[in-house]
A and B are shown apart, each in its own frame.
Chain A
Amino acid sequence: MCLAIPAQIVAIDEASDRATAMVDNVKVEVSLALVEDIAVGDYVLVHVGYALNKIDEEEALKTLDLFAEAGLRQAQ
């Protein structure tokens, strides 16, 4: 369940607690009611018009490394 897509925040409207997020040049309007400390440039998960969570870029890279590492290990 729960289709959520990573998108980058490109503009924030503090007054309405809303933001514009982008995925590859496609803009989506989202509510920031469920998140805190979001800045322009952050990546968030978008679900039914809401930002659900901030994406941890460091962890994303670590996860990708894990995939590659599994590959290396099996090659040995």
Chain B
Amino acid sequence: MKYIDEFRQQTLARQLAGAIRKEADSSRTYRLMEFCGGHTHAIFRYGVQDLLPDNVEFVHGPGCPVCVLPTGRIENAIELAERHGVILCTYADLLRVPAGLGKSLLKAKAAGGDIRMVYSTQDALQIARANPEREVVFFAIGFETTTPPTAVAILQAQAEQLQNFSVFCNHVLTPSAMQAILDAPEPVAIDGFLGPSHVSTVIGSQAYEPFAEHYLKPIVIAGFEPLDVMQSSLMLIRQLNEQRHVVENEYTRAVTREGNVKAQRLMQTVFERRDTFEWRGLGLIPHSALKLKPDYAAFDAEVRFQLPTIKASDVKGCECPAILRGAKRPVDCKLLGTVCTPENPMGSCMVSSEGACAAYWSYGRLRDGRGKQQKAQAGKA
């Protein structure tokens, strides 16, 4: 696969590993936060940590839109299908996320709710066109990569004068989340950031410049493949050694300083910032999420269906809030592997395959001792 296989080559990996080993100062630790869940997933799936020296650590960030979606929003979506009888269109990632009272979209579907998995907002539009007598709601989630496709769908629905299509908007913003982490009352030891690949394709590398400047932390926009992650780690190590703190772009094949201006304009046309939004595990963050502008109220499911705010309660003992901020690691949570597993996720970090706990558990739990594994293995099959 072009532009994929070349960026996974083992020979280059070993070379880069050598370079990192050489340049990493053995008298210190480098704590690098990979913001994006996709990077967390890649790090565990390819075993990138094995090629790095022990004093280079990855701190997992909150860039997982499924993980940070409050369960109350899932309950709203279930209510749309069950009480309002809409056709609810959702990306597959959300189907199994447990909400309150043991519910989930998948269970609601089994109980008769018309919940359909889609791969694109275009599919949702198609369903709306094909079912003019039914209300169709698209359950929108995602950071800035996934937001422009929702904007396109809304504008298309408007142009076609679709009367039965609306969006339940849960789009969130990357810079706000980064800020929340950096502004946390108990600051977490993070030396630098691996910036998200595809969010940056849209928002551009310039979006991160204020952070590097203000918080004095180096940021390297990293490509999606494991070699990109290693090269970006090397670039961060170099900056830290040289005591620089600027934004660098390793993913130059897809990211420019300005980003995708067309996509940005489409987002600005349709969406505006909410005053505040609840992030699972991170609490209320101001100006961190989007809602539809009043001009598009007809396509806003929250307006159309008067959805109530449903408060979610966190599970006792669940360390997701600390893990999402990078303050704790998956192994620091007592629930990991005992009560909380991918089949029975207790908190946000386990519900999505790119949540730190899920990625660690599924790919990497052999690293840190086996005690918990035995209990979980005994429960299998």
Please report A residues at the B interface, Cβ cutoff 8 Å.
1-6, 8, 23-24, 31, 33-36, 43, 45, 47-50, 52-53, 55-57, 59-60, 62-64, 66-68, 70-75
Contact = CB atoms under 8 A, between A and B. Distances in A.
A60 B227 CA distance: 12
B16 interface: yes
Contacts, number: 145
Interface of chain A, main secondary structure: mixed
18 contacts: A1-B354, A5-B4, A6-B1, A6-B3, A8-B2, A23-B1, A23-B2, A31-B152, A34-B260, A45-B254, A47-B149, A48-B119, A49-B120, A52-B202, A53-B201, A55-B253, A56-B253, A68-B15
Interface string B10-24: 001011101101110
Interface of B: 1-4, 6-7, 12, 14-16, 18-19, 21-23, 36-38, 63-65, 91, 119-123, 142-143, 145-146, 148-149, 152, 196-199, 201-202, 223-224, 227-228, 231, 234, 250-254, 260, 262-263, 266, 354
A74 B1 CA distance: 29
A2 B253 contact: no
A49 B125 CA distance: 13
Given A63-B231, A67-B227, A71-B18, A49 B197 contact: no
A64 B4 contact: no
Contacts of A47: 145-146, 149, 198
When A and B form their complex, which 4 residue pairs have the shortest distance between CB atoms, in order from nearest? A71-B15, A49-B120, A2-B145, A6-B3
A59 B252 contact: yes
B36 A2 contact: yes
A63 B149 contact: no
Nearest to A66: B231
Given A2-B143, A3-B38, A66-B231, A52 B198 contact: yes
Contacts of B63: 1
A31 B3 CA distance: 21
A15 to B, nearest CB: 14
B252 A62 contact: yes
Contact of A45 (B6, B21, B196, B198): B198
Contacts of B123: 49
Contacts of A71: 12, 14-16, 18-19
A4 B91 contact: no
B197 A2 contact: yes
B3 A60 contact: yes
A36 B12 CA distance: 34
B142 A1 contact: yes
A60 B224 CA distance: 13
Contact of B36 (A1, A24, A52, A57): A1
A56 B254 contact: yes
Contacts of B266: 33-34
A48 B149 contact: yes
A57 to B, nearest CB: 8
B22 A74 contact: yes
A67 B224 CA distance: 15
Contacts of A59: 252-253
Contacts of A52: 145, 148, 198, 201-202, 260, 263
Contact of A31 (B122, B227, B262): B122
B253 A60 contact: yes
Contacts of B23: 74
A67 B15 contact: yes
A53 B36 CA distance: 19
A74 B263 CA distance: 41
A34 B152 CA distance: 8
Contacts of B16: 67, 70-71
A48 B254 contact: no
Contact of A50 (B38, B65, B152): B152
Nearest to A67: B12
Nearest to A61: B253
Nearest to B352: A1
Contacts of B231: 63, 66-67, 70
Contact of A70 (B234, B252, B262, B263): B234
B199 A1 contact: yes
